[in-house]
Amino acid sequence: MNELIQARDIRRSFALGARQLDVLRGVSLAVHAGETLAITGLSGAGKSTLLHILGGLDRPTAGEVLYRGRDFYACRERARAAIRAQKIGFVFQAYHLLPELSVLENVLLPGLSLPGAFLQGRKLRQRAGELLARVGLAERLEHRPSELSGGEQQRAALARALMNHPELLLADEPTGNLDSQTGEDVLRYLFDLVREQNLTLVIVTHNEAVAARCARHLVLRDGQL
Ligand X SMILES: Nc1ncnc2c1ncn2[C@@H]1O[C@H](COP(=O)(O)OP(=O)(O)OP(=O)(O)O)[C@@H](O)[C@H]1O
Q: Which residues of 30-42 are buried (b: 16+ CB within 10 A; e: fewer)?
A: ebeeebbbbbbbe
Taking a C-beta distance cutoff of 8 angstroms, is the pair 156, 137 a contact? yes
Min CB(49)–Mg ion separation in Å: 8
Min CB(22)–Mg ion separation in Å: 17
Q: Which is nearer to Mg ion, 165 or 221 (CB)?
A: 221
**Residue 43 interacts with ligand X (CB under 6 A)?**
yes
What does each C-alpha distance from 157 to 17, 34, 41, 44 come to in angstroms? 36, 21, 24, 24
Number of residues that bind ligand X (CB under 6 A): 11
**Residue 151 interacts with ligand X (CB under 6 A)?**
no
Considering only the stretches 36-44, 69-77, 82-90, 131-139, report the one whose residues sit in contact with ligand X under the rule CB under 6 A: 36-44
Q: Which is nearer to Mg ion, 51 or 103 (CB)?
A: 51
Which helix (H) or strand (E) covers residue 20, if one does? strand 19-32
Min CB(37)–ligand X separation in Å: 16
Taking a C-beta distance cutoff of 8 angstroms, is the pair 184, 196 a contact? no
Min CB(220)–ligand X separation in Å: 7
Q: Which residues contact 169 (CB under 8 A, 6 or more apart)?
A: 88, 89, 90, 91, 161, 162, 190, 194, 199, 200, 201, 202
Residue 38 binds which entry of Mg ion, ligand X, none, with Cβ cut-offs from 5 to 8 Å by kind? none
Q: Which is nearer to ligand X, 46 or 60 (CB)?
A: 46
Give the binding site for ligand X (CB under 6 A): 14, 21, 23, 41, 43-49
